[in-house]
Amino acid sequence: MKELGFKVIDGYRSYTDIEKAVERINSIGEGRGELSYDIDGAVIKVDDFKDREVLGATAKVPKWAVAFKYPPEEKETVLNEIEINVGRTGALTPVAVFDPITLAGTTVSRATLHNQDIISDLDVRLGDTIIVRKAGEIIPEVVRVKTHAEKSQPYHIPMTCPACGTAAVKDEDEAVIRCPNIDCPAQLLRNIIHFASRNAMNIEGLGDAIVELLVEKGYVRTVADLYALTMADAMTLPGFKEKSAGNLISAIENSKKNELDRLIYALGIKGIGQRSAKLLCQKFPTMEKVMSAEKEEIVEIENFGDVLADSVYNAVREPHRIELIRRLREYGLNMSYTVKETGKKLEGLKFVLTGTLPAMTRDEAKTLIENNGGKCIGSVSSKTNYVLAGEDAGSKLIKAQQMGIAIISEEELLNMLEN
């Protein structure tokens, strides 16, 4: 490669003796701080093609090329503060803030502490001298406490949300604590973005930046406020003219007609994804029915466990959410689900979708397959019946070819449905 003019690293060596190779690995490790680039390991490759064949490969990697990983570099620093971050679901995450140190070539001064259990296990306290490293050379983490600060006390995460002051609650089966206030300003922005997103209420033109502006200008405090937005409000957004403002308002207006499963998913109930929202609506096809469903009834739904049933049951009894749903109803949002007559042409068949289809989006193709009794799964296996492939299909297509699974185009899918 070098002779051909490729750029190769300086440090490579060829050995016929494994002891020498091990020595070399150690010396690279000792000198890695001096390199002009970061490394997390060194690779040994067998350079004889016959030996490579003998060694073979696992399902994922060749056995003739193996990386030795060096232990991550560790540094000492002082913990100044533990900051509490608020996520979209209201999870409160403690973050260690410490004197800046250089690790794997970059300056770091923060590392997540995950939750109270981790803090208690480490017994990390404010002012402590701590040891920090980069896990996988990327994410900084506190490894251990070297010495406690004088007169330090064990640290406990405050049980109130730093953004809104609401008392935090602890999830039963998790170490996570959350802010339960669905109007919490820290969660609000991320909630609205989720609400408007393509798989939820699918409000075209209401992207992250526009949502941020609407919140900043005070037009929107909860997702219900979106439906009170006027042309005049929208016209005040930078770059918005009559046409663009009109488009936004009508996109919001159109979303009122969405089926209930989209709304349920958009409400961001913990554990409820698109598919579980649909299953929930199939059993309880109106908002009233969802809200009055008993835990024992919810848990009967396919793949719903106790935890998810509890989550739904509690979510629709949370006062903020009840008020939100009342307002959405007042604005005329559709609160029911049309149980579709499903066709049976694809019953029992499992599909994997890959690549870009010529006329349909993947979501549309998925809905079409499901409405005809088929199932869409994420990865190709021996149980897959068909792979629906479009342009730029990747590894799934290759796998299907290797496994001899039928590969069909969008047109062929449509033919299957017609005949």
Q: How many CB atoms lie within 10 A of CB 39?
A: 16
Contact between 163 and Zn ion by CB under 5 A: the answer reads yes
Which of 79, 111, 184, 267 touches Zn ion (CB under 5 A)? 184
DSSP string covering 27-76: HHHHTGGGSSS--SEEEEE---HHHHHHH-B-SSSBTTEEEEEPPPPEEE
Given a contact cutoff of 8 angstroms between Cβ atoms, the answer to whether 131 and 142 are in contact is: yes
| Shortest distance, position 26 Cβ to Zn ion, whole Å | 51
CB closer to Zn ion out of 57 and 159: 159
CB closer to Zn ion out of 164 and 237: 164
CB closer to Zn ion out of 92 and 206: 92
Given a contact cutoff of 8 angstroms between Cβ atoms, the answer to whether 298 and 322 are in contact is: no
Distance set, CA 388 to CA 316, 328, 341, 375 (Å): 38, 38, 23, 12
Q: How many CB atoms lie within 10 A of CB 197?
A: 16
Q: Which stretch binds Zn ion (CB under 5 A): 59-67, 155-163, 310-318, 394-402?
A: 155-163
| Shortest distance, position 337 Cβ to Zn ion, whole Å | 31
| Shortest distance, position 184 Cβ to Zn ion, whole Å | 3
| Shortest distance, position 149 Cβ to Zn ion, whole Å | 29
Which of 66, 118, 164, 414 touches Zn ion (CB under 5 A)? 164
Given a contact cutoff of 8 angstroms between Cβ atoms, the answer to whether 255 and 332 are in contact is: no
Contact between 188 and Zn ion by CB under 5 A: the answer reads no
Contact between 182 and Zn ion by CB under 5 A: the answer reads no
DSSP string covering 99-158: EEEEETTEEEEEEE--SHHHHHHHT--TT-EEEEEEETTTEEEEEEEEEPPTT-------
| Shortest distance, position 203 Cβ to Zn ion, whole Å | 25
Q: Which residues pair with 223 in a beta bridge?
A: none
Q: Which stretch binds Zn ion (CB under 5 A): 95-103, 109-117, 180-188, 372-380?
A: 180-188
Residues between 122 and 151 with contacts to Zn ion, criterion CB under 5 A: none
Interface with Zn ion: number of residues (CB under 5 A): 7
Structure-token pair, residue 193: 């973005």
Contact between 169 and Zn ion by CB under 5 A: the answer reads no
Q: Which stretch binds Zn ion (CB under 5 A): 154-162, 203-211, 316-324, 378-386?
A: 154-162
CB closer to Zn ion out of 87 and 127: 87
CB closer to Zn ion out of 100 and 185: 185
| Shortest distance, position 318 Cβ to Zn ion, whole Å | 13
Q: For residue 233, what are the contacts with CB-CB under 8 A and spacing of at least 6?
A: 214, 217, 219
Which of 42, 82, 113, 179 touches Zn ion (CB under 5 A)? 179
First to last CA, the chain: 56
| Shortest distance, position 179 Cβ to Zn ion, whole Å | 3
Q: For residue 59, what are the contacts with CB-CB under 8 A and spacing of at least 6?
A: none
Three-state DSSP class for residue 391: strand
Name the residues that contact Zn ion, by CB under 5 A: 161, 163-164, 166, 179, 181, 184
